[in-house]
Amino acid sequence: MDISIALDQVYDYGFTVLDSLIEQETCQRLRESLSSTVAQHNRSLRAQSDRDMVHNCHEWSLDYLIPYQDPNINTVLSHLLGSSFIIYACQSSSLPPRGTNNARRIHCDSPRLIPGYITNIGVIIALDDYTYEAGPIEFLAGSHTHDQIPDEQMFYENSTKVICKAGSAIIFNARTFHREGINTTNQYRHSLTCNFCRCYMKQRFDFVRMAQTSGLIFEMTNEQRKLIGYNARIPVSLDDFYLPPEKRMYKPGQE
């Protein structure tokens, strides 16, 4: 799909799909890895609502950031959020066999409604085919301009089920009301989900400090560090504040 068409769809309907963006070999490798990660995650749940939904996937493996370094995704996010966009939340969204997850409820992923201004964009990477049987995500087109949660009947009658191949990227305004489907097959339907925000906004977790504590920061590329907010840190002392621009934690020129 032409990027300009995809952008128009996000602005007009609240969501779009970039088909078959990630190579199948990469999808298969990430799917196998995520299957193992989800199994480990489910054995040590802190809340039942988190079952099959792994927080901070990149802390498990930096490979989970690979799809989000795709130049097409970078182009779309730069248009929508400015080129200095960062990750607000990074998790998986896996539907279990003959089931669903906590995202089945009708909801949106951002509490802020600012007319004409986008604060958050969600990007789902399908690691399996999104079919009617596997439980496709459902969006209510145009609802990114609404300030009220649609009722069940209205959503059911007007929502769109997204059908796409593994490797596709589903990109949506985080204000768009949506819900996960119900997987009626006998195997998991895996995907990765990142919510991106503008660089001046607070993230769900302090990803930089987490990466520094775990040592993961030393394994990251500059691009991956940028994604987790490394270039948008705030000073922790006056000495940091008065550093020359090239050495400051908050890099100059960010939008």
For 29-66, write each residue's pLDDT tens digit.
999 999 999 999 999 999 999 999 999 999 999 999 99
Residue 167 lies in a domain: yes
Residue 231 lies in a domain: yes
Residue 255 lies in a domain: no
Q: Is the Cβ–Cβ distance between 69 and 223 less than 8 Å? A: yes
Cα–Cα distance between 36 and 64 in angstroms, integer? 13
Cα–Cα distance between 20 and 56 in angstroms, integer? 24
Q: What is the mean pLDDT of the chain?
A: 96
Query: Domain with 111 in it: what CATH number?
Result: 2.60.120.620
- Region 77-81: mean pLDDT is 97
Residue 29 lies in a domain: yes
Residue 164 lies in a domain: yes
pLDDT at 253: 80
How does residue 2 score in pLDDT terms, banded at 50, 70 and 90? confident
Q: Is the Cβ–Cβ distance between 96 and 174 less than 8 Å? A: no
Residue 253 lies in a domain: no
pLDDT at 247: 86
Which residues 6+ apart lie within 8 Å of 252 measured at CB? 245
Q: Is the Cβ–Cβ distance between 128 and 167 less than 8 Å? A: no
Cα–Cα distance between 185 and 21 in angstroms, integer? 25
Query: Domain of 122?
Result: 3-247
- Please give the structure tokens belonging to residue 146: 């609404």
How many beta carbons lie within 10 A of that of residue 47, not counting itself?
A: 8
Inform me whether the pLDDT recorded for 255 exceeds 80.
Answer: no
For the stretch 225-241, pLDDT in tens is 999 999 999 999 999 99
For the stretch 116-162, pLDDT in tens is 999 999 999 999 999 999 999 999 999 999 999 999 999 999 999 99
Residue 254 lies in a domain: no
The whole-model pTM stands at 0.96
Residue 117 lies in a domain: yes
pLDDT at 121: 98
pLDDT at 254: 81
Give the helix ranges, DSSP H, for 43-70: 57-60
For the stretch 200-219, pLDDT in tens is 999 999 999 999 999 999 99
- Total domain count for the chain? 1
